[in-house]
Amino acid sequence: MNAIREFPRTSLLQAESLFQDKHLGIGIQLQFRTLRVLITHAMPLTHPLVPGQFVFGVMAKVNPSSGAALCAVNLSQEQIFVLRIQDLEPLPEPGSREHALCQRLWQHANPGLEESLGVMRCEVLGAFEAGSLPGDPPTFSSTMHVQDVAHRMHVYRADRAVMETLVNSTVNPQGRINFGLVRAGEDKSYLADPHNAYISMLDIRGKRTAMFGKTRLGKSNVVKLIVQGMLEVTARDPHVGQIIFDVNGEYANTNPQDGDSAIATAYKERCMPYFLKDMDGNPNARLLRFNFYERTHDAFEVLQQLLPPELNNVDSLRNLYTCSLPKLERHEHEHEAQLQRRLRKVMLFWAILHTAGFESDTLKIKAWLQSLGLTMPFNPCFSQNLRKAAYLAQTKLPAPSAPFNFTTMAYEMRVVAQFAQQYPNDPSLSSNGYFIFDEDEQILCKFLCAGMGEGPDLLRSCMEFHNPSATDFTTDIIEGLNAAKTVVINLGSANEQIIRYFAKSICLSIFREQERKFVSNQLNGRYVQIYFEEAHMIFPPNAGTVIDVYSRFAKEGAKFNIGIVYSTQSPTTVNRDLLSQTENFFIGHLSSETEADYLSSVQSAFKGREDTIMRNRTPGWMQMLTYSHRYVVPIQAYRYEGRQQFVLPPQV
């Protein structure tokens, strides 16, 4: 019967939540993690049962074999048990003790036990208990305590009010976004009474979030929703900088599947898109370019990463990578002659770039050198005896006037380098008893003078990453993140080697910047959120005790206000250090039992969900577990369409 009366203020339930039409059955066997329920609802059911569906249980205060047990006042409303349907089982065998119990529980049913759907097996996820004071939020406990017989447990279908408790009550009320609809199975019964599922962006910010699942089943869509959600909840208080390593060009370029509005387009005032290739017609596009003429201190490291592996095996390049070039800056109390001597090594490198065909901005270089206090910025300052001997040997002509621009400087460096290679014992090449070039400079000279296939032409494949007007894009990115911008790094046209290089180098800079802020007490509640698409292309495989920037993200990222979101097809391709520290999971379809078992081995909340994960092939259907959730919630994520679509619930 339907009993409607005023409930105690500590009740977790509304009167209609316990109406007779929602009553499904009575427990017949209770364990700490499993409840078997005799379905006593007359057939057919008004709402279908779906494996994975949430239902709830309450304990009766009186003998359940009496019809009075179903009266609302005879049910304990201070505690509700969270149950998830696992499967249906046939009725117990006649003559068994359980069958006798079922007959006794069905004595008030009509037409009889033989019409029952059977026994429903449920997983016990825990219980919610009312707060100690009216208005206090309910508290959740995963511990199931047993103090009475199973058939005092009455199981009900969850209506909207109860679903709100089961799905959203543990979610942090701050920074919430409406993320999708609760969806227990692949059928469309969830649309008959749709229920919103929220996530809190505070659970994402500064924490680790994983997306796993086969391609084209919604991982990137979920990432876009999270990026969009972070932009929306920080619109009035921009304190989270985001950077996306976009390996497929989905976030920087418009495309029909996103309603012709990518993240960088929909939020162009707050985004900084970077590209490897020129994007005609995009005034906001920035290029990932190096100015190798100015970036000398790590030029060989960068070149080694950008060149194809087969070229890096050439002996002349391997020797070149052993050289160390100075960073062109003037030390305190340094004499101009000392700076000029260090500049000579850099000039040899410049001559290599010039010979290879790298474009230079000579006016910019001249102004830069003059700002360091050099009065003769393009003069290597070789002795007159050396210049005379070198030009006479190489050109059969007398030495011209001292170099006065970039072209004449590069020409003189080649002439002297060739002379040093051919006549190493010439006395003009010695100064105070020492050879004029050190070991690194001799390697540079040899490389500069080498023929085709061994010299400067080996560097030509890096010309696409060079621009004489380029600034330090890493510095610009850090400044953008500090200003709470969303930086999109479009690596869609790059191979895995290039992707790994840009991702690792930029991530190292981000880590150092956040570490610097932490040490100097300047974090001030500001965060950086990093997104890795196709993480298997970026993260190294499980590397044991090897510590790299990604391992440090896992272990120290929270301390430095660094959060990461990574997506890939297989959990086993992700560094285990990172996976074990991950707080948030969005899981789509995994076809391999090995992958599903591996996931549940590092996150126990997915134990028992493996079969569902392997069977699911619906795009956007995710098994969701965030930092706030105490158990997995199945959802159908909303589709990103490039427009504001989130409704922020009231803050409580």
Average pLDDT over residues 36-59: 90
Identify whether 338 is part of a domain: yes
Quickly list DSSP for 369-397.
HHHTT-SSTT-----HHHHHHHHHHHHSS
Distance CA 413, CA 392 (A): 15
User: What pLDDT is recorded for position 430?
Assistant: 92
Same domain flag for 624 and 507:
yes
Q: Which domain holds residue 115?
A: 15-169
Higher pLDDT, residue 534 or 86? 86
Q: Which of 119-128, 157-166, 372-381, 519-528 has the lowest mean pLDDT?
A: 372-381
pLDDT band at 211 (very low <50, low <70, confident <90, very high): very high
545 pLDDT exceeds 60?
A: no
pLDDT band at 97 (very low <50, low <70, confident <90, very high): confident
pLDDT band at 549 (very low <50, low <70, confident <90, very high): confident
Quickly list DSSP for 472-525.
-HHHHHHHHHHTT-EEEEE-TT--HHHHHHHHHHHHHHHHHHHHHHHHTT--TT
Higher pLDDT, residue 285 or 495? 495
Q: CB-based contacts of 444: which residues, under 8 Å, 6+ apart?
A: 320, 323, 345, 348, 349, 352, 417
Same domain flag for 19 and 122:
yes
CA distances from 606 to 165, 493, 519, 609, 630 (A): 21, 36, 38, 5, 11
User: What pLDDT is recorded for position 502?
Assistant: 94
pLDDT band at 104 (very low <50, low <70, confident <90, very high): confident
Within 13 A of 210's CA, how many CA atoms are on the CB side?
A: 28
Same domain flag for 459 and 429:
yes
- Give phi and psi for 160, each to the nearest 5: -60, -40
Contact 398, 352 (CB under 8 A): no
Contact 391, 332 (CB under 8 A): no
Same domain flag for 326 and 306:
yes
Average pLDDT over residues 131-151: 82
pLDDT band at 333 (very low <50, low <70, confident <90, very high): confident
Q: What is the CATH number of the domain that holds 618?
A: 3.40.50.300
Same domain flag for 271 and 310:
no
% of the chain with per-residue pLDDT over 90:
65
Within 13 A of 377's CA, how many CA atoms are on the CB side?
A: 16
User: What pLDDT is recorded for position 65?
Assistant: 54
208 pLDDT exceeds 90?
A: yes
User: What pLDDT is recorded for position 347?
Assistant: 96
Identify whether 533 is part of a domain: yes
Where a domain ends, among 465, 496, 515?
465
Where a domain ends, among 410, 442, 465?
465
Residue 524 backbone zone (phi > 0: left; psi -120 to 50: alpha; other: beta): left
Same domain flag for 387 and 321:
yes
Identify whether 144 is part of a domain: yes
pLDDT digits (tens, 9 = 90+) for 429-450: 998 888 999 999 999 999 999 9
Same domain flag for 477 and 450:
no
User: What pLDDT is recorded for position 4?
Assistant: 41
Where a domain ends, among 124, 146, 169?
169
User: What pLDDT is recorded for position 111?
Assistant: 56
Q: CB-based contacts of 509: which residues, under 8 Å, 6+ apart?
A: 474, 477, 478
pLDDT digits (tens, 9 = 90+) for 575-611: 777 888 899 999 999 989 999 999 999 999 999 999 9
Report the sign of the C-alpha dihedral through residues 67, 71, 74, 75, in that order. positive
CA distances from 496 to 79, 250, 493, 504 (A): 53, 17, 10, 12
% of the chain with per-residue pLDDT over 70:
91
Our measurement of the distance from residue 125's CA atom to the centroid of its chain's CA atoms, rounded to an integer in Å, reads 29
Same domain flag for 83 and 149:
yes
Same domain flag for 460 and 580:
no
SS (H, E, C) 317-355: HHHHCCCCCCCCCCCCCCCHHHHHHHHHHHHHHHHHHHH
pLDDT band at 74 (very low <50, low <70, confident <90, very high): confident
Identify whether 47 is part of a domain: yes
Burial of 227 (0-12, 13-18, 19+ CB in 10 A): buried
Identify whether 321 is part of a domain: yes
Distance CA 414, CA 420 (A): 10
64 pLDDT exceeds 70?
A: no
Number of structural domains, the chain? 3
Residue type, 116: S
pLDDT band at 413 (very low <50, low <70, confident <90, very high): very high
Identify whether 215 is part of a domain: yes
Identify whether 402 is part of a domain: yes
Same domain flag for 215 and 261:
yes
pLDDT digits (tens, 9 = 90+) for 458-481: 999 999 999 999 988 999 999 999
pLDDT digits (tens, 9 = 90+) for 354-378: 999 999 999 999 999 999 888 889 9
Identify whether 179 is part of a domain: no
Contact 93, 99 (CB under 8 A): yes
Same domain flag for 488 and 591:
yes
In this structure, what token pair is assigned to residue 559?
A: 């301390």
User: Which residue from 328, 323, 537 is spatially nearest to 439, judged by alpha carbons?
Assistant: 323
Same domain flag for 461 and 477:
no
